[in-house]
Amino acid sequence: MTELPPEIHIAIIEEFDVDVDDDRKTILALLLVSRYWNSLALPKLYREITMHLLSSRFISHNIQRLRCLLRNIDNNAGLQFTTSFVLKAQTHAFDINPDDNLSDIMGRLISFFFNIRRLGLWMDKPSVNVRSLQSLPSSAPLTHLTLNNCSLSVDDLRQFLSAHPTLQWLALYSSKRSESSQDIQLPASALPHLLYLAMSIFEVVSFDKPLPSLVCLEIRSMTSTCISLDQIATMRQAAPCFNSIVACSLVNFPFVNISSALHHFPSLKYLRLQSFLDESFDYNILSATKLTYLLCYAWRGEANLVAPKVFESVKTMTVVDVGMPGSTRARMYNGEIQYPIYHRAGNWNAWWEEAERAVEFVNRLSVRSDEDRRKLRLLSSAT
């Protein structure tokens, strides 16, 4: 086997899934076979690190991984290969003493992420401070950052972002308005390549001037009750910064406020409504838009009724995807329904790129159909 080309060995390693226990054990065993196999297996093992501290099934295993990482961190050659790190944690479930300060633990860990590109911290309460991110090496080619329920200082955030102008994806979520909550204004010059911005309705992110690179905006509400007048006014003030967006995602957004939110985005083509549409939804609120793609959600018995209503209300609509419980999705275009269709899930899914490809595909089909009809007319006229 050692006589095989290195490319074959690398392909063998890539077949293993580090999230599968048996595969992970195999890769760990390969680390001890020889220096050669160690050099092949180590990048695979550390490339993507995801820790789910969410239930008793995963807590003990992943806390052990976290402790192991910290214990050997100074001599850990694997972290240089880490390009993605995601921690999803319910801190009340930790068997780590809260006095150990999770912010300090994370600060020490990420100081070794020299090649990190994607960093996501999903907390159930603000137990990690953004200040701990300052230990990330400034040379790290960070492109994606998600902070959910982290303790947020605007000054600390600005300082961090100014050190990482490579960011293309920024998601800042807060689950509720608190006394410490504050709307966040950032310098546009700090994020010249930003494509995606996600924020909570409770902490609106804006910029000192329009951000021409921005493609997609996500606004998340943790309650489907009506948005307050103050929140609507804050969104209206921030809207000029987002004139360039072509895609918008509204998560758990009150139906009555959708029209006022979309009104501010004149270039909008792709829309995702992450709420279940029911009989109370007024499809006419979409009629003033020039949407070509809609992704929405409905209960299984109502899914086939949604798309026709959308096409009737939005004359520019090309594709409607309807998600249903069980990760199933149906797609309607040109009066046809595809069911089910494949869609990617993940922490960093650029859904608007999939939407763009779907619209382009249907447009090509339409052109082909037009050409076929033209040929039929020519044939019929010739006869």
For the chain, what is the domain count? 2
Same domain, 172 and 39: no
Assess whether 28 and 55 both reside in one domain.
Answer: no
Residues 6+ apart with CB under 8 A from 191: 161, 165, 167, 170, 207, 211, 213
Same structural domain for residues 169 and 87?
yes
Name which of 332, 353, 187, 189 is nearest 270 in CA terms. Answer: 353
> 239: exposed, middle or buried (C-beta count within 10 Å: 0-12, 13-18, 19+)?
middle
Q: Do 251 and 114 belong to one domain?
A: yes
Q: What's the confidence (pLDDT) of residue 6?
A: 66
Whether the Cβ atoms of residue 118 and residue 348 lie closer than 8 Å to each other: yes
**Same domain, yes or no: 239 and 172:** yes
* 38 shares its domain with 58: no
The gap from C-alpha 21 to its chain's centroid, in whole angstroms, comes to 26
Closest CA to 259 of 333, 214, 312, 313: 313
34 and 113 share a domain? no
Per-residue pLDDT, 369? 63
For residue 98, give every residue at least 6 positions away whose Cβ sits within 8 Å of its Cβ, in sequence order, or none.
91, 127
Query: What CATH number is associated with residue 71?
Result: 3.80.10
Q: Are 128 and 103 in contact (CB under 8 A)?
A: yes
Question: Which domain, by its residues, includes 239?
Answer: 47-382
Are residues 66 and 95 both part of a single domain? yes
Question: Could you tell me if 3 and 146 lie in one domain?
Answer: no
Task: Report which of 218, 181, 220 is spatially closest to residue 201, judged by C-alpha positions.
Answer: 220
Tell me: do 8 and 51 sit in the same domain: no
pTM over 0.85: no
pLDDT of residue 143: 96
Q: In this predicted structure, what is the pLDDT of residue 263?
A: 81
pLDDT at 9: 65
Q: Which of 2, 13, 106 is nearest to 51 (CA)?
A: 106
147 in the same domain as 74: yes
Helices (H), 15-80: 21-30, 35-46, 56-71
Q: For residues 227 and 300, what is the distance between their CA atoms, to the nearest angstrom? A: 28
| Mean pLDDT, 10 residues at a time, the chain of 383 residues | 62 69 71 71 82 64 70 81 86 51 81 93 78 90 91 84 93 65 79 93 84 92 66 75 91 80 88 85 88 90 84 93 82 78 71 92 78 53 45
In terms of C-beta distances under 8 Å and separation of at least 24 residues, what long-range contacts does 58-65 make, across chains too? 59/93, 59/94, 59/95, 60/95, 63/94, 63/95, 63/96
Q: Which amino acid is at 356?
A: E
* Residue entry with tokens 């089910």: 340
Whose structure tokens read 């709307």?
183
DSSP-derived pairing of the beta strands 328-333 and 336-338: antiparallel
> Residue 171: its pLDDT value, please?
93
pLDDT at res. 366: 77
- Predicted local confidence at residue 348, as pLDDT: 82
